Amino acid sequence: MAKILIIAEHCDGIVNPSTAKCVACAAEITDASIDVAVFAENGETVVGEVAAMGSVDKVIQVNNNTNTRALAAVIAPQVVALADGYSHIFGPSTTFGKDLMPRVAALMDVNQLSDIMEVLGSHRFKRPIYAGNAVVTVEAPQDKPVIATVRIASYKAVPSDGSAKIESASPDAEIPGHTRFVEVLSGESDRPDLQTASLVVSGGRALSSEEDFNIIYELADTIGAGAGASRAAVDAGYAPNEMQVGQTGKIIAPDLYIAIGISGAIQHLTGIKDAGTIVAINKDPEAPIFEVADIGLVGDLFDMVPELTAALS
Amino acid sequence: MEKILVGLKRVVDYNVRVRVRSDGNGIETDGVKMSINPFDEIALEEALRIKERGEASEVIVVSIGSADAQQQLRTGLAMGADRAILVNSDTAPDPLTTAKTLLALIEKEGIDLVILGKQAIDEDNNQTGQMLAAIWGRPQATFASEIEFSGESARVTREVDAGLEVIEVDMPAVVTCDLRLNEPRYVKLPDIMKAKKKPLDEIAMADLDVQPESTVSAISFEPPAEREKGVMLDDVAGLVVALKDKGLL
Ligand SMILES: Cc1cc2nc3c(=O)[nH]c(=O)nc-3n(C[C@H](O)[C@H](O)[C@H](O)COP(=O)(O)OP(=O)(O)OC[C@H]3O[C@@H](n4cnc5c(N)ncnc54)[C@H](O)[C@@H]3O)c2cc1C
Ligand SMILES: Nc1ncnc2c1ncn2[C@@H]1O[C@H](COP(=O)(O)O)[C@@H](O)[C@H]1O
């Protein structure tokens, strides 16, 4: 029987949806018990939310005043101290999980598996490589715990229909003081979170200025969508980095993705492979984005986008 | 600080459209252009700038893999690294083995700062820096977009999902680079000539007392699922109708 530990991701007392998606992945492993660990300074509300997630058997609450911020160097030794008896330890492949899980694995002297997109067995998984240009089936060694990140765009969050038991733990771990949190600088936005929004509107280099990028926000706000950007648009300073979609940005799976003035480089496409419907607006009929778009419109975005916004207002 | 170690992985160039081999046993690599992993070029550029600011005295580039990686190391020397180390390994090393090899070099050379890419674009693992920091028992500053040194510590701005996070780490430390940390310099012809005279040492992984890990093994490869061919519409009115018909708006 598999015994799985999931590391919850949360911030400011709110669980990140990535946690319920990790649970969904773990639940694909047959005959598994699923525990979720919440490392926080004071995790009461988070623990409550996690306990309500379907398929979760137990929530392990680790309250500790070093856990105010999710620093990998601080959390990893605590995870290792809890790891005994678990056959699998999963975290999300968000920047939180990517930072943490390899550190956990190395402290346990095992390799780590990145971006599980499909479970084929307790030790057999599919994962994307080469920016999603290939999918590899991998087998993890049977005699070691499987430490992995879950590609959250591949999973739908489990419903909140559970009632797991809650336990407190104080793992015996040496917490290093060599890494200190200073601050987070993030643009405040009322738009839906890019990683969970069901509708996303993204703009590319063609937007040509931060000011022009407003037409992306106007369309997004009109339909209640999250807003994204290509790397070129972020590099040029038209949009902040947390909006980047793609291989090195966010991997998303909205029901509708509207790509505006984005050429469709492979590194961008890898971020939207799981989108339900892809719409592309581009003035170049040869743009590679049209090879993956379900609906394409050739034309000038500066005419078409305001027209679309007006039609939907 | 004295020495900075930079990892350069040889990977399929990012412009190549990678294909799965028809027998499903791997990736088509015959005649395919190979390059330095793009994040590693950024890592090296950052190390060179730190040295040029007078904050470090030597930049060492290392690659672990087949002898072919000499090419990428020579490019690294031409960019400005002082010397190069090739750790020979017949099999492509997994991230934990790579981290252990880098740690062996750190101990041998006495390294103060390690700068790696955040991920190698072949396997997209995004692990090695974190693993190295773990087994070295030192801080990790991953996905860096800005690094600033002050005495015995560094302030690093990290690209995280929520935006930009600033952390402070004590030295020595491992930093992994994101794309916006800098723009790597171009190599000039005279530098390529000069680089030929710079030292490039080869050492076998076994001589560093590192044993390859029993690891996750690849069973088969397949191309990603294809999307169905879409439709081209003439105007915005048509798009609005199509989206409403699909129930998306
Ligand atoms: C290691 C690595 C990782 C990367 N990771 C990412 C990533 O995570 N995400 C990402 O997006 N990129 C990533 N990239 C960059 C990627 O290769 C492309 O350079 C980038 O996606 C291009 O952005 P773009 O489509 O906005 O710009 P461009 O390629 O310049 O395309 C602009 C498009 O706008 C169209 N256009 C211009 N004017 C108009 C107009 N008036 N109306 C309508 N259309 C117009 C043009 O026809 C063109 O197709 C990465 C690259 C590397 C090397
Ligand atoms: N074989 C290698 N040789 C040198 N550096 C490597 C090697 N493998 C990984 N690295 C470094 O580790 C980073 C992250 O790689 P990965 O964890 O494989 O995604 C890369 O960007 C390199 O800087």
DSSP conformation class of B41: H
Q: Please write the tens of the pLDDT for every residue from B201-239.
A: 999 999 999 988 777 899 999 999 988 889 999 999 999
Nearest alpha-carbon partner for A56 in A91, A6, A15:
A6
Contact status of A134 with chain B (Cβ, < 8 Å): yes
CATH 3.30.1370.160 fits A199-312, yes or no: no
Q: Please write the tens of the pLDDT for every residue from A128-146.
A: 999 999 999 999 999 999 9
State the average pLDDT for chain A. Answer: 96
Cβ B174 under 6 angstroms from ligand 2 = no
Which ligand is closest in space to the CA of residue B120? 2
Question: What are A148's strand-pairing partners?
Answer: A90, A113
DSSP, collapsed to helix, strand or coil, labels residue B119 as coil
Q: How far is CA A134 from CA A28, A42, A298, B129, in A?
A: 22, 42, 30, 24
Cβ under 8 Å to A: B residues 5-44? 12, 14, 17-20, 27
Note whether B224 contacts A273, CB cutoff 8 Å.
Answer: yes
pLDDT, average across residues B59-84: 98
pTM to 2 decimals?
A: 0.97
Mutation test residue for ligand 2: of B36, B37, B102, the one with most atoms within 8 Å of CB: B37
Per CB-CB distance under 8 Å, the chain A contacts of B140 are: 72-73, 99, 103, 179
Matching residue, tokens 């060492």: B60
Cβ A244 under 6 angstroms from ligand 1 = yes
Matching residue, tokens 């990892």: B7
Q: Please write the tens of the pLDDT for every residue from B93-128.
A: 999 999 999 999 999 999 999 999 999 999 999 999
Q: How far is CA A247 from CA A101, A130, A268, B82, B174, in A?
A: 19, 9, 6, 32, 22
Share of residues in chain B with pLDDT > 90 (%): 92
Could you give the domains of chain B? 3-245 (3.40.50.620)
DSSP conformation class of B233: E
Contact status of B243 with chain A (Cβ, < 8 Å): yes
In a 10 Å sphere around its CB, with 0-12 CB exposed, 13-18 middle and 19+ buried, how is residue A274 labelled?
Answer: middle
Substitution target from A78, A241, A269 for chain B, most B beta carbons within 10 A: A241
Minimal-distance CA residue to ligand 2 atom 1: B64
Per CB-CB distance under 8 Å, the chain A contacts of B179 are: 231, 235, 248
Contact status of A11 with chain B (Cβ, < 8 Å): yes
Apex A105 CA angle, A99 and A109, nearest 5:
145
CATH 1.10.1200.10 fits A3-168, yes or no: no
pLDDT, average across residues A165-188: 94
Cβ under 8 Å to B: A residues 182-211? 182-187, 195, 199
- Domain-by-domain residue ranges, chain A? 3-168, 199-312
CATH topology agreement for domains A3-168 and A199-312: yes
Of B140, B180, B242, the CB nearest to A72: B140
Cβ A140 under 6 angstroms from ligand 1 = no
Q: Which atom of ligand 1 is nearest to the CA of A266?
A: 17
CA within 13 Å, CB half, A156: 6
DSSP, collapsed to helix, strand or coil, labels residue B94 as coil
Strands A134-139 and B217-222: antiparallel
DSSP conformation class of B207: G
Q: Which atom of ligand 1 is nearest to the CA of B121?
A: 1
Residue B237 confidence (pLDDT): 96
Per the CB < 8 A criterion, the answer to whether B126 and B118 are in contact is: yes
**Start-to-end Cα distance in chain A:** 54
pLDDT > 80? residue A188: no
Residue B91 confidence (pLDDT): 85
Residue B227 confidence (pLDDT): 87
Q: Please write the tens of the pLDDT for every residue from A87-113.
A: 999 999 999 999 999 999 999 999 999
Encoded tokens for B57: 């005295």
Residue B1 confidence (pLDDT): 87
pLDDT > 80? residue A187: no
State the average pLDDT for chain B. Answer: 95
**Segment among A25-39, A195-209, A223-237, B213-227 with least mean pLDDT:** B213-227
Cβ B69 under 6 angstroms from ligand 2 = no
Rounded Cα distance between A146 and A25, Å, is: 13
Question: What are B85's strand-pairing partners?
Answer: B62, B201
pLDDT, average across residues A258-287: 97
Share of residues in chain A with pLDDT > 90 (%): 97
pLDDT > 90? residue A244: yes
Cβ A64 under 6 angstroms from ligand 1 = no
DSSP conformation class of A152: G
Residue A148 confidence (pLDDT): 98
